[in-house]
Amino acid sequence: MDTNSTKSYTKYYVIAWVFGLIFYFLDYVIRSAPAVMLPELSKTFSVNEIRLVTIIGTYYYTYSTCSLIAGIALDRFGAKYSLFTGAFILGIGCLLFMISSQFLGVAGRLLQGAGCAFAFPGCVYLASKGFSAKSLATAIGFTQCLGMLGGSAGQFVVGPWIEEGMHIDIFWLSIGIFTIIVAFGLWFVTPADITEKKEESAVKKQGVLEPYKIVFSNPQSWFCGIISGLLFAPTTIFAMTWAVDFFQKDRALDFHTATISSAMVAFGWVFGCPLLGYITDKLKRRKPVLVAGALLMIVTLIQLLYFPDILTTKYSMFLLGVASGAAMIPYSIIKEANPDNVKGSATGAINFITFGVTTLLSPLFSRLFGQTLNNTLNKALHFQQAGLFWIIGITIAILISFLLKETGEGKHANSTKVVI
């Protein structure tokens, strides 16, 4: 009877996970879309480009901090209430972003970040209940695949719309209303976790912050977050915020080509995330695939910066996106390196650390290279120096990865063979 009940609820969690993918898709559309409408947003909020990028970057302030809240909410209240709340807040944030006020623009972007913080942890939470451990990395990779498809659409699709004359208010109004509809859809399709009562009561007895005490006291959690943040940064800061501007001004590409090239990173993720997740599941090892993906990122960036004639910009960016799918592997490692009863908090914690890294690197990159984008005389050198910034970050991620403990099943299988 219990087995049949579990199987029945597993199906519901899978259905809810699929619906959660829509929320996560919208997360990335909204995260990346401002990159293709910088001039229009500058006029709306009456600010210069550097100030606008700062406004857009506030997304990561609330995204990183609210990831912790999302983790607690998932462990204490389940996915039903958490995902509804996150999607609803995201929809309100989009609606505020269409008002011609710098203050409301900042408020809207902060709400967008806060709402989006619930999307990925919620999907991982649902996937961990709907899929077996053997296919969890593949499910997480596919989740990120859909997210990055949204990131690609936020530039690939929205860019041409803006170029053809769509007013940005129409975009923000439409996506805001649609996101609120998705919020209510999540409310109706997500199970209320009634099969997890014992687990929930145990978590509540622990206290609100006890799960994070467990996760953050584990050095492996910090290693996972820092590595993921350093591998994510070239995508979130460069490709989704600055790339269109850099390609137009440093590489002299037209707006259409710059937009397509920038979007190719997110499009690469569509293939890279599930592919690398599948490979880690097949090999039953996490670290080799993580390091290989990071090394490929470096090779691709070197080609883009110093040997641009070998591959066109859009293909280089696509390969960069495929390789940077490795940034999702630490999301599997942190769950496996921490107890099962803090799985929601573990995902919230890695999101907090990952995008905390982004929050720190974004203003640094803006000061070093964004502010000089219009003033530099040697465009090629400026572009190379900006790219070298990301190569250094990826190299640091590789070095830290050697401190990670292998959590894949392959390690345990080998250990068993040795004992026998």
Q: Please, what are the domains in the chain? A: 2-410 (1.20.1250.20)
Mean confidence (pLDDT) of the chain: 83
Residue 240: strand, helix, or coil: helix
**Per-residue pLDDT tens digits for 37-50:** 888 888 888 888 77
pLDDT at 9: 67
pLDDT at 344: 67
Phi-psi region of 193 (alpha: psi -120 to 50; beta: other; left: phi over 0): left
pLDDT at 416: 35
Given a cut of 50, the residues of the chain with pLDDT beneath it are 1-3, 5-6, 194-198, 203, 413-420
**Per-residue pLDDT tens digits for 64-116:** 888 888 878 887 788 888 999 999 999 999 999 888 888 898 999 999 999 99
What is the distance between the alpha carbons of residues 407 and 275, in angstroms, rounded to a whole number?
19
Q: Are 33 and 40 in contact (CB under 8 A)?
A: no
How far is residue 18 from each of residues 73, 119, 159, 185, 291, measured CA to CA in Å?
20, 12, 27, 12, 30
98 contact partners, CB below 8 Å, separation of at least 6? 44, 168, 169, 172, 173, 176
What is the distance between the alpha carbons of residues 126 and 345, in angstroms, rounded to a whole number?
13
Angle at 267 between CA 269 and CA 33, to 5 degrees: 110
Residue 201 burial (CB count, 10 A)? 10
**Per-residue pLDDT tens digits for 225-276:** 999 999 989 988 888 788 888 898 888 888 888 888 888 888 888 788 778 8
pLDDT at 205: 53
334 contact partners, CB below 8 Å, separation of at least 6? 215, 220, 221, 224, 225, 346, 347, 349, 350
